[in-house]
Amino acid sequence: MSPLARIAIAGDHHGVQLIDRIVAVYSQRGHDVIDLAPRVEGIVDYPPLCRAVALSVVGGDADLGIIVGGSGQGEVVACNKVPGIRAGLAYSEFSVDISRGNNDANIMVIGTKVIDESTALALLDRWLSTPFKGGIHAQRIAQIAEIEAEFTA
């Protein structure tokens, strides 16, 4: 397992049960889990929640972020609109290895309609313990940052 981290987490109405489980498990393990998930009845829109977690990460209040939704696809799109965010959809060991190892993802997105709770927790463990490889991948991350800067200047 990686060193202890400050982790911001949120998600829509599909993710409340898994969010509660993640908060309990990772808080017990000593991580500082910042729970930004609303606890309301009915449908919850994910874009504002993605924004909140992404701003926590780029603002330095959190080291990493987790978003939980239905498919996770829209959440990845929303998170990646924030400059400095590299969100990856976690649906397999391979996707986790690439998102952390190659892309230095700072937000993990989980789709509860795609994977079950035990798989989500196992992938989160893997994501937290996978180091960024650097090297050629650092060069590519810098190129991504240049694209962001071009459109945010």
pLDDT bin (cut points 50, 70, 90) of residue 2 is: low
pTM across the whole model: 0.95
Q: Tell me how far apart the terminal alpha carbons of the chain are, to the nearest angstrom.
A: 38
pLDDT tens sequence across 84-127: 999 999 999 999 999 999 999 999 999 999 999 999 999 999 99
Check residue 39 and give its pLDDT: 87
Q: pLDDT tens-digit profile of 29-88?
A: 999 999 999 988 899 999 999 999 999 999 999 999 999 999 999 999 999 999 999 999
Q: Can you list the domains of the chain with their CATH numbers?
A: 6-152 (3.40.1400.10)
Residues 6+ apart with CB under 8 A from 23: 9, 33, 35
* Distance separating alpha carbons of residues 135 and 153, to the nearest angstrom: 27
